[in-house]
Amino acid sequence: MAETVQMEDQVKYQTVAPAKSLSYASRVKRSYRQIKVESAFKVALVSMGIFMVVLVFGIFLTLVIGSSQSIKTFGISFLWGKKWDAVNDVYGAWPFLAGTLLTSFLALFISIPFSIAVAIFLGEYFPKGWFSELLKNTIELIAAVPSVIYGLWGFLVLVPFVRTIEIKLGIQQQQGWGIFTASLILAVMIIPYAASLGRSVIQMVPSALKEAAYSLGATRWEVIKNVVIPYTKSGLFAGILLSLGRALGETMAVTMLIGNSNDIPKSIFATGNTMASAIALFFGEANDIRRSSLIELGLVLFVITMIINMLGKRVIKRFTN
């Protein structure tokens, strides 16, 4: 009897031991495979990051090389040069720089109240439901509409509206298009960016913070003012910064509504031009020094966008701290 039990134990051990060793070997093999996959994934991520850095540096270097003739000819005075004269080959960026900054920041100031209002409405008052989904889909659709469609709509709708305002205000040049019209269409175009990001960060506010404020007797407005806005201010500012970057580089809609004048705008109702619009309008027929000057306009726009992003990150970091 004892010999039978001993033989059964030996058979059981011989059966289980290979299974255990096989399971251990498969686990080792699987772990080794996972390590290889993770290493390859890490290398891919690092390579993509390096590629993006090289790409941005390559774009900057290309702009510098392409604008070298203009830089040698006009120097730093190109930035505040007030004339863009293709006949005498005298080029200055100030009219386009002023038009770009004026339209972008005016559009930003117009869009901020609407963007924050939509973000709070979708994040606090109607986070779910058919109406919330309808509004979110509408906002996403606004962001997906091509800019040339906005330009056509602005030309058919906004230009007569602005012309009516100019007539009532007694403005001399009652054209309807200009800086103000381009800023209005830009404001409509950039609202979805700040609104979508603002809605996301507002929905991430911990419910415990809001419930604690409600338990102390705070109203919904007081909770939004004293809890939600301070908690999400860095995210809201990031959305506004994203909107500004979108406004700085917009081309077609602005080109169709700004009036395309190479003069320095004297008011928000005057005609003007932006750096992106000038490049789109003049680059096809440009050569030599004029072509180099247009490339330098692109370089200035690139540097301005980079500076604004860097300042925005500093502000976001300060808000977060």
Residues 293-307: tens digit of each pLDDT: 899 999 999 998 888
Round to whole Å and give the CA distance between 178 and 188.
Answer: 16
pLDDT at 48: 93
pLDDT at 16: 45
Binning the chain into helix, strand and coil, the percentages to the nearest 5 are 80, 0, 15
pLDDT at 24: 57
Q: Which CATH number applies to 94-320: 3.30.930.10, 3.40.640.10, 1.10.10.10, 1.10.3720.10?
A: 1.10.3720.10
For the chain, which ranges sit under pLDDT 70?
1-30, 32, 318-321
Round to whole Å and give the CA distance between 238 and 320.
Answer: 11
pLDDT at 11: 44
pLDDT at 252: 86
Residue 178, both tokens: 């200009």
Task: Look over the chain and give the mean of its residue pLDDT values, rounded to a whole number.
Answer: 82
Burial of 89 (0-12, 13-18, 19+ CB in 10 A): exposed
Q: What is the DSSP letter of 79?
A: T
pLDDT at 35: 78
pLDDT at 61: 93
**For 85-119, what is each residue's pLDDT tens digit?**
877 888 888 989 989 999 999 999 999 999 888 88
Q: What is the DSSP letter of 124?
A: I
Round to whole Å and give the CA distance between 91 and 289.
Answer: 9
